[in-house]
Amino acid sequence: MSRGELDPATLERLGAQLPDLRSRLDKTNALSPDLISVNFAPRSNVPIAAVCLSDAAHTLHGVGYALFECLAHGVFYREVAQPPNEMAAIYYERYYVDDAALRLYSAGEHVANALIFMLGVTQKQLRPYRKNRTSQQGAVGRFLADRRRDLPLSRSIGQLARSPDWRAAMTYRNEWVHEQPPTVQGLGIVYHRRRRWRSGADRSLYLGIGGGDSPKYTTTKLIQTVRGALDGILRVLDYAVMHYDTVLEARGIRRRRAGMQDGE
């Protein structure tokens, strides 16, 4: 175990800093693709959206767990461990916030696939919106903004795409995956991937030895960013589930807390 125990009051305080993820799991777990399929044609993809929404909710529940452990490790190594260990606090904060950022991106892809299935979007329709985009969520977001902008769901996706926290979290995730692992303050000397020789004012070249480079991030800011991004995508998930309910109701399916039922 990478941290010791925290008292119940501290655990409760940390948990209160995170959004309600249990209720989202309950709502998506109540979506049965088998029962939904009864009311749709055999070749319909609409029931598959239930699985995607459940995948998204479970992934976001993982984001919540990662953020909780991020906070808990910070508290343990700064306030409980003897002697306090700031570097260990930052190391584990970074470890868990990395995990959360990666899961955020994954959840976005699950939601995007849910929208494709529930709205009946074809790959041909999406093709013009895939230019310069590798993610499913980017293409689906642009498609909805162009073709279905009247939907509250589409507006929530637009708000997420413009969110500074979401954009920063996705930039961090992309750096983590495709470039040098992002450098974080408090973990010792770091070096960026660059040439070490520099040009002076008189165009001469000089080489500084030692000291490293300035880290790009702090865990304090990263935690704040990922927390804000989580709030944003949870709003999108909520709107996606609500829209799916309208799709199901049009086929005579009413949802209840414990599962699905036909008719009233």
Could you read off the pLDDT of 126-141 as tens digits, one per residue?
888 887 767 888 889 8
How far apart CA 168 and CA 257 sit, in angstroms, is 36
Mean pLDDT of 28-44: 94
Q: Give the whole-angstrom CA distance, residue 256 versus residue 174.
A: 39
CA-based nearest residue to 19, from 68, 73, 56:
68
**pLDDT for the residue numbered 74:** 97
Tokens matching residue 23: 């209720």
Q: What is the pLDDT of residues 201-259, one digit of tens each?
A: 777 887 877 778 999 999 999 999 999 999 999 999 999 999 999 999 998 888 764 44
67, 19 contact by CB (below 8 A): no
Domain boundaries, the chain: 8-189+218-262
pLDDT score at 256: 60
Asked whether residue 40 carries a pLDDT value surpassing 80, the answer given is yes
- Residues 67 and 63: their CA atoms lie apart, in Å, by 6
Q: What CA–CA distance (Å, rounded) separates 119 from 131? A: 21
